Structure 1
Amino acid sequence: MKPGINVPNVTFKTRVRDDSIEGSNPFRWEDKTSDDFFKGKRVVLFSLPGAFTPTCSTYQLPGFENNFAAFQEHGIDGIYCLSVNDSFVMNKWKEMQGVQNIDVIPDGSGEFTRRMGMLVAKDNLGFGARSWRYAAIVNDGQIEAWFEEPGISDNHGDDPYGVSSPENLLEYLENQKQTEAA
């Protein structure tokens, strides 16, 4: 993916809270499209191999959560975390991580990830098809800036992390701000 490319138009199967539903699981299915997440907004999208995994849970998700205000100062309307996990998993992970500012996008079938060119096999870890780690700044559905971890390949022996970190994206946004001011 390169800047200037539109994100794929797909439908995501999400579960949303509905207080009209009684019981211990007050959620209903709601289809959301790429437009629901990206149209008319400037957002950060970051994708990772899986909810509940060490790097994702220890660094990446908390890093974006803790820097939410700094991203807003740079004109970012929202931050989305996408993974090839179903909505049940993504919602529970968000809850258990205590995340308040980041919205999760469940790409359970991997369709968005595949069409982004980022679907890789992680059979060596027993994961199956998952997303390669990346981040993007998306402006009204179009990729403005792209941050992909090096070495994309099936069954990669390592889990590179750094290029797609919140700190790296904030550095990019700060440099962009300084360039525009000059």
Structure 2
Amino acid sequence: MTIEPGSQIPDVTLMERTPDGPAKMSSKEFFDGKRIVIFGVPGAFTPTCSLNHLPGYLENRDALLAKGVDDIAVISVNDHHVMNAWAKATGAEGKIRFLADWDASFANATGLAKDLSAGGLGVRSTRFSMLVENGVVKFVEVEENPGQATVSSASAMLERL
């Protein structure tokens, strides 16, 4: 079952590339005491993720922060090296947090995992966006079609905020 508003974010280990190297963090620690917009993508460097979903959040970063958001993060079932390379390649490094859900533990625990083996990707995250306040989901939007970023887009998030 997909995580719903009012649910606590599950506590799993994520990874992020920092200036000091790769760092593990608990999702509980990441969301604790903050208002965070997080969006999930099936894969770094994939077409819709790189050409539509991520750029929208990068372009609307300041507007989202002006709505009282403490941080914006993208999460994908990729390793931290891939996520770091994607951050650099898109110019989003230092502007959006790039979280690696390398073992799909976050995707599985939230019910947002999707088997994309038919397309050669294996188990990935579905495309989604959510607002999390102090570890509690306030709302979540899941795309019906992984090739689209409409209900989970930055503009849709701005309207919800």
Query: Shared fold by TM > 0.5?
Result: yes
| SS of residue matched to 1:109 | coil
Look up the match of 2:59: 66
1:159 correspondence with 2:147: yes
- 1:105-124 residue CA offsets vs partner (Å, 9 max, x unmatched): 10000001100001111111
Work out the CA distance in 1 between the residues paired with 2:24 and 2:73. Answer: 16
Equivalences for residues 161-180 of structure 1 within 5 A: 161-173=149-161
The residue type paired with residue 17 of structure 2 is: R
Instruction: Compare relative contact order (CA 8 Å, sep 6+) and give the higher one, 1 or 2.
Output: 2
1:93 partner amino acid: W
TM-score where L is the length of structure 2: 0.93
| Partner residue of 2:81 out of 78, 88, 96 | 88
Question: What is the letter of the counterpart of residue 71 of structure 1?
Answer: L
CA-to-partner distance for each residue in 1:53-87, whole Å, 9 max, x for gaps?
01110111111011111111111111000000000
- Which amino acid in structure 2 is aligned with residue 165 of structure 1? S
Task: Identify which of 14, 23, 37 aligns with 1:44.
Answer: 37
| Cα distance between partner residues in 2 of 1:171 and 1:14 | 29
Runs of at least 4 residues off by over 6 Å: none
SS at match of 2:160: helix
Give the deviation of 1:15 after TM superposition: 3.3
Mind listing any 5+ residue stretches in structure 1 that lack a counterpart? Answer: 19-26, 152-157, 174-182
SS in structure 1 of the partner of residue 69 of structure 2: coil
Which residues of structure 2 form unaligned runs of 5+? Answer: none
Pairwise CA RMSD: 1.3
Residue 134 of structure 1 corresponds to which residue in structure 2?
128
Of the candidates 130, 141, 144, which is equivalent to residue 150 of structure 1? 144
Q: CA deviation at 1:160?
A: 3.1
Q: Letter of the 1:47 partner, please give it.
A: G
Name the amino acid aligned to 1:15.
R
How far is 1:14 from its partner?
3.3
Contact 2:52 2:149 in 1 (8 A): no
Counting matched residue pairs gives: 158
1:118-156 deviation per Cα after TM superposition (whole angstroms, max 9, x unaligned) = 1111111100000010000000000001111126xxxxx
TM-score scaled by length of structure 1:
0.83
The aligned runs of 1:1-16 (5 Å cut-off) are: 1-16=3-18
Q: Distance in 2 between matches of 1:115 and 1:43?
A: 18
